[in-house]
């Protein structure tokens, strides 16, 4: 395991995602810092994220076990410690995501005649997530938003509860695309055409940030360590 002490100049390091999609997207920002140390990186990400990333001179993207040898390895989420990261030195989000024109063109017709501010909403995450009861909310909680005029809402929810599905039918000002989202390239292409995203702590939050979109993150009362406390923004 690389712990930041060994020289990476001319070496190959295998970096791998060992947590969820959102964690992977959030911690990709550390990969360029490893490359700056002279390393060639083999980066393994979950298959649904692979289409968003592309190979470069010093980074090979894979979604399975590496076929080639490597000198060092490290989980993505161990890189901040190895790199000696402090709050003031947290790097900017990883912006080298690739959105195919095919996916952009696929979703453009939905927004062709839309006027006003376009807002993406994601109010719950995967139900199998161990912390889901503390991060997900009901669509009913967001109903006051729909009283504001001049805003066009887009649901980015992949999974919807029966109760929320019933509410969606009563909200003509929101387009629900969940069932039509096949992978993260679809979600990224839609987000790229929105003005702002409002979401709980899911992969949508980190994907929007990586695409440079303004994001309002809805954080639990007892937040995850990375969100800190007693502030209204996040260094991440």
Q: 131 - beta bridge partners?
A: none
H-assigned helices in the chain: 21-27, 31-36, 47-50, 79-82, 101-111, 132-135, 162-168, 184-191, 203-210
Encoded tokens for 234? 């996040």
pLDDT at 124: 84
Q: What is the pLDDT of residue 122?
A: 93
- Cβ neighbors of 233 (< 8 A, separation 6 or more) are none
What residue has token string 């007693």? Answer: 230
More confident position, 180 or 5 = 5
Query: Which DSSP category does 185 fall into?
Result: H
Beta-carbon contacts of residue 141 (< 8 Å; ≥ 6 apart): 123
Query: Once rounded to an integer, what is the mean pLDDT over residues 50-74?
Result: 92
Instruction: Pick the closest to residue 199 from 216, 222, 212, 181 (CA basis).
Output: 216
pLDDT, tens digit, 9 for 90 and up, residues 120-177:
999 986 665 556 666 788 899 999 999 898 899 999 988 888 888 888 888 888 888 8
So what's the pLDDT on residue 77? 95
């Amino acid at each position: 395991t690389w712990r930041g002490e060994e020289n990476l100049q001319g070496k190959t390091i295998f970096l791998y995602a060992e947590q969820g999609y959102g964690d992977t997207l959030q911690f990709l920002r550390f990969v360029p810092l490893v490359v700056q140390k002279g390393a060639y990186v083999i980066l393994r990400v979950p298959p649904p994220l692979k289409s968003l990333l592309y190979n470069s001179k010093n980074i090979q993207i894979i979604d399975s076990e590496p076929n080639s040898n490597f000198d060092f390895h490290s989980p993505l989420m161990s890189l901040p410690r190895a790199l000696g990261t402090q709050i003031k030195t947290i790097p900017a989000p990883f912006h080298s995501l690739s959105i195919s024109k095919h996916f952009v063109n696929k979703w453009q017709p939905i927004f062709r005649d839309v006027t006003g501010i376009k807002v993406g909403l994601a109010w719950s995450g995967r139900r199998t997530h161990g912390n889901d009861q503390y991060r997900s909310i009901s669509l009913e909680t967001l109903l006051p938003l729909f009283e504001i005029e001049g805003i066009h809402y887009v649901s980015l929810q992949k999974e919807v509860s029966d109760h929320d599905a019933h509410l969606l039918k009563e909200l003509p000002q929101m387009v629900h695309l969940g069932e039509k989202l096949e992978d993260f390239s679809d979600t990224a292409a839609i987000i790229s055409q929105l003005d702002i995203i409002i979401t709980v702590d899911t992969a949508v939050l980190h994907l929007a940030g990586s695409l440079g979109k303004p994001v309002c993150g809805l954080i639990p009362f007892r937040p995850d360590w990375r969100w800190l406390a007693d502030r209204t923004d996040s260094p991440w």
